[in-house]
Amino acid sequence: MEKILPLIIAPDPILKRISQPVEKIDDELKSLMKNMVKTMYFQQGVGLAAVQVGVLKRVLVMDVDYEIDENSNHINHKNCDGVHVKNTNPRYFINPEIISKSKNDKSYNEGCLSFPGARAEVYRPESVVVKYLDYEGKIQEEEMTDLMSVCIQHEIDHLNGITFVDHISRLKRDLIIKKIKKNSQ
């Protein structure tokens, strides 16, 4: 049974640490990934890196297409934890690496579950080719564009100890951190 994991919130120093490669895909790792997906849906994010739930492994999950199910009417909320989504297509990425990037950059207004309420324009390559292991441990290589490209780059950054605010000016970054600290008191 999947569970919602607590999020690591900035400026927690673990977010600056580099995640370690996964050596073995086992039931424990698969359980972690399922819990990460449930956590991502609960928090209404489109991507989540393991470091954001305190695990320093090179694992991330994404789903850029799902929808919140406003019409979820059922009696027993014990098993759902209030997670009501539809059109789900969770994706699992183990040891992902970007093997090529487009020359053209594009800006996107990014947010991050570890930076609640914060958003900023970030410039990233328009498309990327990513090599990774899927949920079953099979090697995959895929070109990603649009929101998939933004999301995978954002999440791989997390695995390398980089957050989206590292891509913006120091002044804007400091303001975001100050606001998050204030709101967490």
Residue ranges covered by each domain of the chain: 13-183
Strand locations in the chain, DSSP E? Answer: 47-49, 59-62, 67-68, 85-86, 91-101, 105-112, 115-125, 128-133, 139-144
Catalytic residue (one of 97, 110, 136, 155):
155
Residue 22: exposed, middle, or buried by beta-carbon count in 10 A (0-12, 13-18, 19+)?
A: middle
Per-residue pLDDT tens over the stretch 48-97: 999 999 999 999 999 998 877 776 665 555 566 777 787 789 999 999 99
Is 155 designated active site? yes
Give the whole-angstrom CA distance, residue 141 versus residue 163.
24
User: Which residue's structure tokens are 């489109």?
Assistant: 46
**For the chain, percent helix, then strand, then coil, each to nearest 5?**
30, 30, 40
CATH 3.90.45.10 fits 13-183, yes or no: yes
Contact 154, 110 (CB under 8 A): yes
- Tally the residues of the chain: 185
For the chain, what is the radius of gyration of the CA atoms? 16
Per-residue pLDDT tens over the stretch 128-180: 999 999 999 999 999 999 999 999 999 999 999 999 999 999 999 999 999 99
**What's this model's pTM, rounded to 2 decimal places?**
0.92
Kindly give the pairing relationship between strand 47-49 and strand 85-86: unpaired
